Amino acid sequence: MNRKIGKKIIYILPVLAVFLAAMLVLTHTAQNGVETTEILPTINPDPVYVVCESGKPLEVTLRAKEDFSISGFQILVVNVSEESRGTLRMALTDSNSDMLMNQVLPVENLTPGKWIAVSESIAFAAGQEYQLSLLADGSEPYFMQVPEGWGDKLPFEETVLADGEALPYGISIGINRVEPTRVIYGDIFYYSIPACILITFALIVCILFGTRRVMETLRRIPVWKWICRYGNELFLVLLFVAVCISIYSRAYLNGIFISADSTGYMREAINLVNGNGFRYDGLAGYSSWFANWPILYPAMIALMMLVTKVNAYLASKLVAMLIVGIMLVILRICFKKDAWVYALCLTNIGFLNLCYYTWSEIPFMLFQLGFALVLARILQNEKSAGKWYVLLGTMGLCCFLTRYYGIYVWIVTGLYILALFVVFRQKKDKAFLDKSVKLTITAFVSGVLSLAYLMMNKLMNGMASGVSRTMWWDDYRALTDDLIESLLTEFFNIFSLQIPELLENFPYNLKVFAVLIILVGLGWFVIKNCRRFTRESVLITMAVMYYLIFICIRYVSSMDSFYFRFFEPGTFLLCIGVIGLLLPYLHGKKAFRYFGGAVTALVLLAVVSVWQNGGLDDSDNYYEAVTKQWEEAYTEIPERSVIIFNDIDFRSSWYRSDVVDGTITPADTLDSLRETYYGSEFLCIRAEFVETMLELGEYEESVHNWLEEGLHAIGEKAEFVVLPLNIMK
């Protein structure tokens, strides 16, 4: 026994010696260690730029707040392409006009919209001023604007001169700051120290107890049994956490995703909370009827606001998170242990972007999924209780009440009703006739309720869907190009990828073939594997009909061009259906198990990376920074005002729901203005706009005199002329 122990000690000693030697090296200080910190300003989320015109230098004065050194600058530009053969020269001089940096950058090497490092070692002295000159030659790169105060984390004060005039904002320039620091080799080679400790521990355990005994003990641990029993649910929870963190981090702490539609949804939600019902301008004093979009999504935001007491924008993000959770629960109920595979549809780039924006597509996709699954259940089962038809009708009505386009689900149902009737004629089985009759009744009731909603809009608004949907002028060639690009984008979005660069550079007439190859291959696979009246067939049929009907409608009516927002609801159903057809080929394959483990690891790393990158750091909250800008912009605007020729950030229109936009035409009189803006108590217009209007001399005399009096009454620093509308009453 003592001999065995001695033998083991002899084996252990070299292991310990190697471990100590490795630790001695890994804990040794590397020579001339420095720490590089990337410091970037927060750019304006609006598409506003500072143009660096060809041949005209853009001068930037940098006044150092402290002593610091950099290993280079970071720049972000747009309006550049690989086809450009121009250059951008960056030159930096100190207060003595000594050249510290002089680099010429080929524009084709600058990726638009991405921060690019320009290496140069420079030391700055506190209080000193440095001149950075940006000169474009043969190109016109655009820098993004950095609003005042949004670059305060940079160690210098920045003043940008364009045509000799100082701009009230900065431009998208950051730095890579370097500072001396103690760096050990263990820091340079990530995880090398814990890896050494674990390897040494494993070797010592194997030496003491024997490798075979250790391996047998490890095999007894029921890891695979735990994974089979709980892995599906744990993955769904992990994915839910990952999506929620992504929404909160990207769309609230580090950005704002608001479109014109978003402002309408949130404005109506705020009015619902305040008891104004369908009057989305109720807080502003008007009876405008909410009809451009259906009511259900704003109602969901309003309910979330009442429950959580948060603002409308954050409430919309919480609604998206809640819907993601409900979708995952539905997938778990319907697909059991395979739910984790179907849940991967929620990692689609298009789906995540929909979650970031305040858009109705996310709740629409929930009800669309529910409708498809309930319809499939009714078609598959010989007899279905009445509650399933009620649920189907409710899902269909909810689809319509989130998007008017949702009424398409009854067109799909109509096709299945016809198919059931044909089968009944062939087989003389009354079960098929019974289903077709019940589906017809369900579609009729839900359809009548939908039409009643449109009729209510017509009576209250004058138009069934709030605005005219007639065709505007379109470049049909450009529209078709957008369709091709959008279809390609949808395909690669499924795999969380961008269109490959090689394919992106194809002309559109060649991209058509790429789209056809994808569609033909997908169609062949579906036709080969799909069976009538199955869950997969219903999902795929609804997806295909969604695409076809939407494309046809777009070519004859006015709306935005094709892009992910419109196609993602169909893509979502299509992916779930195709996954159902693929799974029989994958079950039992070891590679499929490894794929599940790899995906789980990637999702876990995605969650951890948010913390690593400071994604949940609320010290520099993007939403709060933007709303602070809104507060400043509205400082002079009283409650219940109309802003004439409003140029304030359109995204803030929900933030000040008591304010409306307006115009004044030369034909307007005081009485007509009072009648038009009957709900507002004040009329506000920028002083510079008033000056221009008075100079033109085109406006009605009473309005001209009224504006002139208001302009003379304001102070020198006032930006707006504020006129009480009640003086006209």
CATH number at residue 107: 2.60.120.820
Residues 571 and 631 in one domain: no
Q: Which of 148, 180, 212 is the last residue of a domain?
A: 180
Q: What is the predicted pLDDT for the residue at 152?
A: 85
Helices (H) and strands (E) in the chain, counts: 24, 18
What pLDDT shows up at residue 340?
Answer: 95
Q: Domain for residue 677, yes or no?
A: yes
Q: What pLDDT is recorded for position 473?
A: 62
Q: Note whether 574 and 647 are same-domain residues.
A: no
Same structural domain for residues 292 and 407? yes
CA quadruple 533, 536, 540, 541: dihedral, nearest 10:
10
Whether 363 maps to a domain, the answer reads yes
Q: Residue 58: name the closest of 131, 147, 154, 152 by CA.
A: 131
Q: What angle do CA 35, 38, 40 make, to 5 degrees?
A: 155
Question: Are residue 74 and residue 25 in the same domain, yes or no?
Answer: no
Does residue 701 share a domain with residue 564?
no
CA distance 548 to 160: 51
In order of 282, 297, 331, 344, 425, the CA distances from 320 in angstroms are 26, 11, 17, 17, 45
CB of 443 within 8 A of CB of 378?
no
Are 496 and 382 within one domain?
A: yes
Residues 330 and 432 in one domain: yes
**Amino acid identity, residue 346?**
L
543 and 637 assigned to the same domain: no
- Could you tell me if 575 and 348 are in contact, meaning their C-beta atoms sit under 8 angstroms apart? yes
**Residues 452 and 503 grouped into a single domain:** yes
Domain-embedded: residue 142: yes
Are 637 and 579 in the same domain?
no
Whether residues 524 and 547 fall in one domain: yes
Asked whether residue 236 is domain-assigned, the answer is no
Category of 264 on φ-ψ map: left (φ > 0), alpha (ψ -120 to 50) or beta? alpha
Look up the domain containing 20 and give its range: 2-30+200-221
Report the distance separating Cα 52 and Cα 144, nearest Å. 11
Residue 226: inside a domain: no
Q: Quote the pLDDT of residue 82.
A: 63
pLDDT, position 472: 58
Task: Look at residue 338 and tell me if it is in a domain.
Answer: yes
Q: Say how far apart CA 331 and CA 345 lie, in whole Å.
A: 11
Residue 583, in any domain of the structure: yes
Domain membership of residue 686 (yes or no) is yes
pLDDT at 678: 92
Q: Which residue positions in the chain have pLDDT lower than 50?
A: 728-729
Q: How many domains does the chain have?
A: 4
What are the tens digits of pLDDT across the range 93-107? Answer: 998 889 999 999 988
Residues 56 and 145 reside in one and the same domain: yes
Amino acid 165: pLDDT: 82
